[in-house]
Chains A and B, each alone.
Chain A
Amino acid sequence: MFDRLSIRHKLAVLLGASAALALLISSAIAIYSTYVTETEDSLRTLHQTARILSENMRAALAFHDAESAGKILAALHSDPHMLLALVSDEHGQFLSAYRSQRLSDAQEKNLRQRLHTLRAQHFADLAREGGVVDLVEWDAMSVLQPIFFEGQRIGVLALAADVAPMWSKVRTFILMQVFSSAIALALLLYFSFRLQAIFTRPILELIAAMRKVAETKNYRLHLASRSRDEFDDLYRGFNAMLSEISDRDERLNALATTDALTGLFNRRLALETLQAMAKRAQRKGEHLGVIMLDIDFFKRVNDRYGHAVGDHVLKEVARVLRACTREVDFVARLGGEEFLVLCDNGTPAILEAMAERIRSSIAAHRIEYEAGRYVQVTVSLGLYSIAPGEQGDIGQWLVSADEALYRAKETGRNRFVIATKLPDKAGRDA
């Protein structure tokens, strides 16, 4: 159930629960403290009454004057919470008693029994001057006060009062505590709902950013944190993760589109690029040049010098190709010793110039495969310039260039042939 709640609701629930627990504990402590304080206050009052009565009672006890003792006790009528008062002499004989009219016979009997038991339990305490004994029970509190005359105990005063006023105060306090706690809890819940945004806003922003990245695949997104707390660390981590994904994406893309040996673009990208460049050329009304070239007798190089030297030759040819082409041109390795150059605005004249530059540069390039040892290769090139508005497809254009290349090979290699039209049309020799 809790797991299904959103973070903002969880936060509100947690804050509310924490506040409620804190309020419960503090209320329990406050209520207990009030109970103890009220009990002590009530007991203190009863002790004071007992002391005053004892002082007044001393003479009556000293002279066994039950009538005076009764008059003194009669003053307790003014206190409605005083239940029972008993005065006994030094022999334990009752001299006088006071009983509240609220007290039933059974209650009086019960109270007398409890006072008697208390007196018996604390007989030794009551034998010394100042040895006051008290007892707090759920329905009444009692005080036994020994009365001394000239250092001799002449009697004991026993008072019992009800604890209704104390419980009344405790009840009032509990009600106030419950009421104030409810208000405090309501306010805390209200503020927790309002303030939870401080915590949830960064999380919600993060979630929105993640959704946006998932939709747009834009891993270069950067989130700016407005805080300097743990959320700032989270944002930094998120940004670092996005950056890493972006870099990895680029690396994977490069691996997918690049020839690992030469660093040129691969065949798959070359075909896609030819399509895109053809569309752009058509849109701009320009030519697009296609040059296919192949290293002459490359198998012999491999056979004679080994594949390592062959790979080195491929890399060097690629380097020369890059050097001989423009920034706007596209150079790819189609596979084996076959390469493709796409020339932006590649008119036949431009194509021919570029092809010758490539051919001559490679032919003149001495490739050092070991220290002081060189190998030289030549290339044959097939050219095709796609004119603006020309109908056809990639396959036809490439076949045209390839047929021109074939003718260049057939006619002696180390040369270029430009195909004039469609595949069935033959190009002229270089």
Chain B
Amino acid sequence: MSSTRQAAILSSTVSIGCVLVSIGWGCQRERPAAQTDTSSAALPLWFVDATSDWGLDFVHQAGPTGGYFMPQIMGSGLAVLDFDNDGRWDLYFVQNGGPSSGQPNRLYRQLPDGRFADVTSGSGLDVTGYGMGVAVGDANNDGWVDVVVTEYGRTRLFQNRGDGTFREIPQAFTSPLWATSAAFVDYDRDGWLDLVVTNYVAYDPARVCYGSRGQPDYCHPVNFDGTVTRLYRNVSFRQPEHVQFEDVTQASGLGRLAGPGLGVICADFDGDGWPDIFVANDSHRNHLWINQRDGTFREEAILRGVAYNVMGQAEAGMGIALGDVDGNGLFDLFVTHLTEETHTLWLQSPQGRFADRTARLGLHRSRYRGTGFGTVMVDVDQDGWLDIAVANGRVTRHPAALPSVAPDQFFVPYQERNQLFWNKGQGEFQDVSLANPALCDQPGVWRGLVAADLDNDGVPELIVTSIAGPARIFRNVAAARGSSLQLRLLTRDGRRDAYGAELWVEAAGRRWYRLLQPAGSYLCSGDPRIHVGLGTLTAIDRLVVRWPDGQYEQFPGGPVPAIRLCRQGSGTPLPNYR
């Protein structure tokens, strides 16, 4: 055998060995050759990992591994909330180790020095279960936020006592479905926040699924029936000291169509001033429930172009972000999907009609791919254009993973990297993941993702959860940040955030359009304030708000950067604006 051959065989053996070792010990990262792009050095560094600076020590408990219990791989979310009304943002993290895990969900209170202290014990939110998502809203208009936790097999309601603790309302919801994302929305515009809960599949835990190589793995949702999204009408007006909901799923029409729902967002999709409901379904066409203004909804996803991608294919919808990425004054819709698919962006134009423009806007040219879950649109560099962040992590083992790994490495074959897309203007995106290693170069099975200005400095941080891993806080350190405006929009009595309010900011001949809706992303509830990046501007001309009851008001402009508060009734009424 020639030395050339010997060398070749030796090197190939070493290479294969290295490949296998790297696969087995932690890579699972899809690194195409093209990603060795030297130009990444010129791209913006936006985030650093500041988890320990904030004193956050949350580690997600996923329960026993090896049984491939499907709720485990769907992960859990988090909420940003001010549960004690001290003006500082607190955090609530959901666990899914199971009812007998002894690992309750965790509540962290932010201390005056900005660090987080674990105050779970005795909070009333210290419950265990196969926890999935969380929604936050003041359900009885008493000025204290209440909490809804979704689980595999039930949905739970916790009323804020107003003393820093919560009490669970037993049997508030009786649905045994596998609940995932939830959102508070005042769909009937009666001034009380109603609740939408998406449900996933009619999962049978006794079912064992296998990958093509014959190894056991988590099941694909197509193995089970999808289930309906539930709508609960808030009837707490009957007795405000007790939060109460009525199941109107059937009466509203939402009970007529089932789907494997994972993500939900509530916004006015057709411009009539009434909130609609978009549900991202996993491997099934999406649903868009258009509010008929009489307590019922009509499903119009196909007609309005958001049921499928550009090829007419139903993709595996997970997380959702909504925002005006191209500055045309209309919301656009972004939904995360599987590695094999694309994360898809539908542009809205004209009003109420959407078209998949993922490729045209450059989002298909990512440096690497991933199975996306949590996602947010946030103007990280405050240049006036919404950027997009995506939390990724597989749901089935990476095909190149070794068939068996050590128990403490169980989730390694599911790890992927997060992604960050910079909006260069008018919705043209560039992948800046490689320039942001803190956020994007840590392999994990990432799930929940929210943006929140935790330190009230006017600039949002990102908070991410991962399966069986620590939650992370990424501080925004964008160097060439523009100015910004951060607004809190409150209801007429000033007691709660006006979920569903829409905002227009006018300055220097341009308009920014934003929505107040903390629910979205995946299994999460974020900062209820609106953040608007304004680039080089130093002042705004005026603000216009459409309140959830459909009334318009304008508020005077002023210098920026600023953090402002607008209460309904304190502005100048406008007959119309759009």
| Chain B associates with chain A | no
> Using a CB–CB distance below 8 Å, which chain A residues touch chain B?
none
> Using a CB–CB distance below 8 Å, which chain B residues touch chain A?
none
